[in-house]
Amino acid sequence: MKKEQSVSAIKEGTVIDHIPSNAALKVVDILDLRGIRSIISVATNLTSRTMGKKGIIKIGGKNLTKEEVDKIALIAPDATVNIIKNYDVKEKIKVAIPTTINKIIKCSNPNCITNNEKSMATKFYVIRKRPLKVRCHYCERNMDKEDISLL
């Protein structure tokens, strides 16, 4: 099966599968993979039986933590994360939306201090997971999924 081949193609590291095709590059940004020195392959528009088109990211030599995995839940809620050891899937991590979201999304309220104070980190509380609804720790406004944008 094609999927098996993709996963076994690296010896050590992490494979993130079932990313929506248009979100693969965003996942690279969120996980800050551009600064990593090991081999990273990003594929988009692969054929998927369940999703139609999908993206895959393979990161050699790096095991993602649960916290890092949860970061991508906002844009790839159905992604599966496989930790690879010696060509085998050692662990499968289910992506889950965290209870607080730090730094990665922007408050939609232009009058929020986070959009005005220099180099300030954002923080949100998840008040509903599906569909996603969050509350800004600072201005206390609620945002629905359609208002959420990544920083």
**Residue 108 engages other proteins in binding (rule: CB under 8 A):** no
Q: What does the DSSP 8-state code read for residue 2?
A: H
Per-residue binding string, other proteins, 121-150, x by CB under 8 A, is ---------------xxxxxxx--------
Of 47 and 111, nearer to other proteins (C-beta) is 111
The nearest distance, CB 144 to other proteins, in angstroms, is 10
Longest dimension (CA), the chain: 51
**Residue 101 engages other proteins in binding (rule: CB under 8 A):** no
Tell me the torsion sign for CA atoms 52, 32, 61, 88. Answer: negative
Question: Which tokens is 68 given?
Answer: 């890092």
The nearest distance, CB 104 to other proteins, in angstroms, is 18
- Residue type present at position 112: C
Q: How many CB atoms lie within 10 A of CB 132?
A: 20
Question: Which tokens is 26 given?
Answer: 């965003």
Among 97, 104, 109, 147, binds other proteins (CB under 8 A): 109
The nearest distance, CB 150 to other proteins, in angstroms, is 19
Q: How many CB atoms lie within 10 A of CB 12?
A: 16
By CB under 8 A, name the binding residues for other proteins.
109, 111-114, 116-118, 120, 136-142
